[in-house]
Every structure is written in C-alpha cells, then in structure tokens.
A and B are shown apart, each in its own frame.
Chain A
Amino acid sequence: MSDETKVDLELDLKGLLCPLPMVKVSQNITNVPVGGVIRAVATDPGAMADIPAWAKSTGNEVLKAEKEDGEFVFLVKRVK
C-alpha cells in the first residue's frame, strides 16, 4: 500500500507512550467515515503491535505499519 492512499485524518502521536497511541487511534476512528483512513505517526515501538492488535480485534484494517526514519507510520482504515 503506497502513501498515495487518501488520508482523512492525520494523527501526530510522537512522544506518546504506549498504550496511548492505540487509545488515540481508537478515540479518533469514528472521526473518519466508514472506508476512511487515519494516518498516524508514533515513536513508541510498542505501537507496532498495539495498533494492529486493536485493529484486528475491532474489525478495522491496518493498511500499513512501517518503521520510517526511526518513526512508526500507520495507515488505519475504518471498516465499520
């Protein structure tokens, strides 16, 4: 999945300690429409497991979870 995906909401989660990045994504998912995408950037490595686990258990979809220049970049799609 490339970064050309249309992003509906940008979340800057840098500096937040886990599990806060997951909490923030969860709190904001209803701020995008169904089918909409959140792009979130975190710096805590724990988010790499937390955010995909949250998405899987809530039935949402992680389009991307990657480390880029020491930051962790996520594209999360609201499925329902």
Chain B
Amino acid sequence: METQQLTTLAGVIDKKMNRQLKQYIDICARCAICKDACHQYVGTGDFKYLPARRAELIRQIYKKYFDKAGRFVPALYEARDPDENLLEELYESTYACTACRRCMYFCPFSIDTAWILSVAKAMLIAAGMGNEMLSQLADAAIMKGDQPELFRDVLVSGFKDIEAEVREITGDPSAEIPVDKEGADILYVGLAGAHSIRPAAVIFHEAGASWTLSLFESANYGFFLGDAEKARKIADRYMDEALRLGVKEVVITECGHAYRVAKIFHEAWSGKKHPFRVRHILEVIDEYITDGRITVDPGSVKGAITYHDPCQIGRNGGLFEEPRRIVRALAADFRDLTPNREQQWCCGGGGGIVAMSEFDEDRIKSGAKKVEQIRATGATIIAAPCENCRLQLEQLRDHHELDLHITPIMDLVVEAMPLAGTKAAQA
C-alpha cells in the first residue's frame, strides 16, 4: 500500500476520534473481562472476536500516527500501519460485531467497543473494503427514496392486498391501511415485509387510532454498513414523510436497530430536532392495553413462554418492561431468561450479520449462550421483537433441534384479541 494511502486511511481515524473515543483508546487496562461478555468470543473461542482485541487494531494505527511515543518507537508500542494484513483482520472483527454492547456493560471502564468499531467501518469503507452486501441493500433503500414514483404504485397495491386481509381478520369491511394521510397522529414505519404491517394495522384499527403507513421500511443497512451519510438518507425517507404529513409521532415496528436509529441517531445525523416523538410499537401496544383501548384474553398464550431482549431495544434502547408487561398480559406461564434485561445475552443475529453469509458458521456458533438460556427455561415459545433476532433464533432452533415457536409480540397480541373476523392473524 502506498504511503499516501496509508496516511489517508489513518486520517479517517483522526477525523472520527473525539475526546471520548481517545479516552477509550488510552484507558483499556487489557484486563480481558470483556472476553466473557462477548457471545462471539465465548461461542467460537476465536481471538479475533475478543472485544479488546478488535479495538486494539484501531488503537495500533492511532498510536502509529497520532501518538508521540508510538510515532518514534512503534515496535515498543505495537504501533502499526493500516496495511492489507491489518485491514483484513479488522474487516472480520468489525463486520462480525453485532454492536450488542454487552462488552461495554461489563467493562470496568465502560469502553464502547462497538463505537470504536464504527471508526473501523469508516476506515474500511475509505479503503474500499466496506461490506458489499450491506452496501447493496443500503443503496437499494436509497433508490426507493430517490425515485418513489417508480415504486409507489407497486407498494400501494401490496398494501391494498394486506388491507383486504386486515378486513377478514377484524371482520370489519371498512378497516383501512391509510397511506399519505395528512394530519394523522401516527406515522407507522414497518419493514418491507407484509408480516410487519398486517398485525399493526389490526391493532391500530381496533384501538381506533389515527394512523398512516409509511411508504418506506424502517430497516437501515446503511447503519450496519457504518456509513452515516447513507444511514441518514435511509431514515430521511420516512422522517421527511412524517414532517410532510404533520404527524404527532413516528412509531417504529418490531425492529431493534431501526428503533435506535430513529430514536437516538437521526437527530444527530440530520442536525435537526424532530417536532414529533418517536416510539417503538411495543410502547404503543403496552399503552393501549393499560388504557383499555384494546382488549386481550389473558390466557391466550398456551404453554411456557419466554422473552428475548433484542440488544438495540433493551440494553441500548432502554425498553425492558413494556414488552414483558404485554407478554404477561397474554400468558399465564412467563419465564424470563437468565440473565436478562441489561445483562441479556445477544442472540448473535444483530448488526446486519444475518445478511453477511461469510459469517454464517461463526454466527451459529455464537448463539450457544442463547440456546443454553432458552433450554434452561423449558419454554416452548419465545417472543422476540426484532427481525434479525428472529432469523437467528430460527436458525439456532433448526441447528439445535429445539422445540421452540419463535414469534413477534404483535402476532401474540392479535391472536389474543376478540376479533369478529374469521381469518387467522398471520398468513
């Protein structure tokens, strides 16, 4: 690699480094407590997945270019150039990280390895080594936002088909999936899949909510890619829609990272404060049940059920009790995983890793702790309000031959509602 290119890549690190990140770089005591917190390291035993080691690669480059001692006696301080060898190791340890931040929770200095790795992603992208699949998925989402006229008719026609199903489920021929409804209270942002729209539409209808459906999906592969510009553009699609329609709140579907993007990151990326609030659909459903706006049968869930906290909703999003209250309202036999809430194990499916086939083998191995936790409860149903978690859990179930039904919470709620229709909630 040319000296010029090495300096440019090191420059990317320098640009991204703020005081907090520099502090992380400096204070790591190499105590390795984080190794027992990371499901990937625990599940694979592979050194490259040790959280402090992942960050160490960035630290080495930083030392070489921006630290006096490292600049003059690099060997002593393990200061290194961002050459091909380092970048290849960095690629694996960075894109495999699910950004669950469990290591941060257990680190005595609260070092945020996932944040350090966002710097690594920026450098990999600058070196032309950003993940190709995530990049393609992000570009496809941006394409839909740039040329909505190309996709609008086909999307609306899909929504009409779902609306027909909602009418059959609710037994109400006037039930609607409104799109582009100015002045609605809620803009609901689902995923591209009908499964994220159908149950929400039933719940909003039964609650008599004033809502409208976004044309766009909330999933954000630009965020997983580590490209803040692309991530912002993807979120802008529905945030602009919310502004145009004048809604009071944006409600994100059962998805982890999308909730965090909308609730926490978008304002910083866009530099603008939202004139509406952002909530997760589970917060809204919890409120509907508590306020009696929807009725649910308390014995509806038969059998033992447990709940998985998706990292971006739980540890990194702060929603622990809302989903548990909903599940308890439907089920007599709720058994929590151990540990849970802030200490919940990552299932291994976050950070976009389910779309990156090169990590498939390690991803399944990294689910070992989750499987152990589920087995210990004896539950045969697990509710998981995140698409990536559910995909991972389904593959873990098949791999370990678990007797386990994996479900979004919305589906359980719809099944528990006394509805006049004849059709079952999910196709």
B143-151, B206-214, B273-281, B296-304: which lies at the interface: B143-151
> Is the C-beta of A38 less than 8 angstroms from some C-beta in chain B?
no
Cβ contact within 8 Å between B161 and A45: yes
Shortest CB-to-CB span from A49 to chain B, Å, is 4
List 7 A-B pairs, minimum CB-CB distance, nearest first. Answer: A46-B192, A45-B158, A18-B192, A18-B193, A17-B193, A57-B139, A54-B140
Which residues A1-53 have CB closer than 8 A to chain B? 17-20, 22-23, 26-27, 44-50, 52-53
- Of A49, A58, A65, which is within 8 A of B155 by CB? A49
In this complex, what residue of A is CB-closest to B132?
A26
Q: How far is the CA of A54 from the CA of B221 in the complex (A)?
A: 13
* B: contact size bracket: 20 to 34
> Is the C-beta of A80 less than 8 angstroms from some C-beta in chain B?
no
Beyond contacts A19-B193, A49-B155, A53-B141: 20 other A-B pairs, Cβ-Cβ < 8 A, are A17-B191, A17-B195, A18-B191, A18-B192, A19-B137, A20-B391, A22-B192, A23-B355, A26-B136, A27-B133, A44-B193, A49-B151, A49-B154, A49-B192, A52-B151, A56-B140, A56-B143, A56-B147, A57-B136, A58-B140
Task: Point out the residues of chain A lying under 8 angstroms from B357, CB to CB.
Answer: 27
Q: How far is the CA of A70 from the CA of B157 in the complex (A)?
A: 13
The prevalent SS among residues of A at the interface is helix
Cβ contact within 8 Å between A54 and B387: no
Task: Point out the residues of chain A lying under 8 angstroms from B217, CB to CB.
Answer: 18-19, 46
Convert B98-109 into 0s and 1s, putting 1 for each residue whose CB lies closer than 8 angstroms to a CB of A.
000000000000
Q: How far is the CA of A47 from the CA of B151 in the complex (A)?
A: 11
> Is the C-beta of B364 less than 8 angstroms from some C-beta in chain A?
no
Q: How far is the CA of A75 from the CA of B139 in the complex (A)?
A: 21
> Is the C-beta of B79 less than 8 angstroms from some C-beta in chain A?
no
> Is the C-beta of B219 less than 8 angstroms from some C-beta in chain A?
yes
Q: How far is the CA of A15 from the CA of B155 in the complex (A)?
A: 19
Q: Which residues of A are in contact with B by a Cβ distance under 8 Å? A: 17-20, 22-23, 26-27, 44-50, 52-54, 56-58, 65
Which residues B109-165 have CB closer than 8 A to chain A? 133, 136-137, 139-144, 147, 150-151, 154-155, 157-158, 161-162
Q: How far is the CA of A1 from the CA of B387 in the complex (A)?
A: 35
Cβ contact within 8 Å between B143 and A50: no
Cβ contact within 8 Å between B154 and A48: yes
Q: How far is the CA of A48 from the CA of B194 in the complex (A)?
A: 12
Convert B179-201 into 0s and 1s, putting 1 for each residue whose CB lies closer than 8 angstroms to a CB of A.
00000000000011111000000
Which residues B373-402 have CB closer than 8 A to chain A? 387, 391
Shortest CB-to-CB span from B41 to chain A, Å, is 26
Task: Point out the residues of chain A lying under 8 angstroms from B139, CB to CB.
Answer: 57-58
Shortest CB-to-CB span from A44 to chain B, Å, is 5
Task: Point out the residues of chain B lying under 8 angstroms from A20, CB to CB.
Answer: 391
Cβ contact within 8 Å between B142 and A57: yes
Task: Point out the residues of chain B lying under 8 angstroms from A18, CB to CB.
Answer: 191-194, 217
Q: How far is the CA of A49 from the CA of B159 in the complex (A)?
A: 12
Task: Point out the residues of chain B lying under 8 angstroms from A57, CB to CB.
Answer: 136, 139-140, 142-143
Cβ contact within 8 Å between A46 and B194: yes
A23 and B154 in contact, given A17-B193, A46-B192 (Cβ under 8 angstroms): no
In this complex, what residue of B is CB-closest to A26?
B136
Cβ contact within 8 Å between A26 and B161: no
Shortest CB-to-CB span from A29 to chain B, Å, is 10
Convert B202-245 into 0s and 1s, putting 1 for each residue whose CB lies closer than 8 angstroms to a CB of A.
00000000000000010100000000000000000000000000
